[in-house]
Amino acid sequence: MIDRLRDSGVEDEIVLQAMNAVPRHFFVEEALASRAYDDLSLPIGSAQTISRPLTVARSCELARNQTSLKRVLEIGTGCGYQAAVLSRIAKEVYSIERIGSLLGSARVRLRSLNCHNVRVKHADGSSGLESLYPLDAIIVAAGAVDLPEHLIDLLSENGRLIIPLGRDKQFLTEVIKLKVGHELVTHEEVSFVPFLSGVVVK
Considering the domain boundaries, does residue 201 fall inside one? no
Considering the domain boundaries, does residue 198 fall inside one? no
Q: How many CB atoms sit inside 10 A of residue 114's CB?
A: 9
**Predicted pLDDT of residue 150:** 94
Overall number of domains in the chain: 1
CATH code for position 125: 3.40.50.150
- Told to judge if 156 belongs to the known catalytic residues of this protein, a careful annotator would answer no
Contact 174, 185 (CB under 8 A): yes
Considering the domain boundaries, does residue 197 fall inside one? no
- Condensed to tens digits (0 to 9), the pLDDT of residues 63-108 reads 999 999 999 999 999 999 999 999 999 999 999 999 999 999 999 9
Considering the domain boundaries, does residue 181 fall inside one? yes
Considering the domain boundaries, does residue 114 fall inside one? yes
Range of the domain at 73: 2-190
Query: In the chain, what are the helix, strand and coil shares in percent, each to the nearest 5?
Result: 30, 35, 35
**Predicted pLDDT of residue 93:** 98
- DSSP 8-state assignment for residue 194: B
**Predicted pLDDT of residue 201:** 79
DSSP notation for 155-192: EEEEEEEEEEE-SSSEEEEEEEEPSSSEEEEEEEEE--
pLDDT of 126 above 90:
no
Considering the domain boundaries, does residue 200 fall inside one? no
Residue type (1 letter), 104: G
pLDDT of 202 above 80:
no
Considering the domain boundaries, does residue 199 fall inside one? no
Please report, for the chain, how many H helices and E strands are present, in that order.
Answer: 6, 9
Considering the domain boundaries, does residue 202 fall inside one? no
Q: Which of 51, 59, 87, 95 is catalytic?
A: 51
- Supply the mean pLDDT for the chain: 96
pTM given for the model: 0.96
- Condensed to tens digits (0 to 9), the pLDDT of residues 134-157 reads 999 999 999 999 999 999 999 999
Question: Once rounded to an integer, what is the mean pLDDT over residues 22-27?
Answer: 97
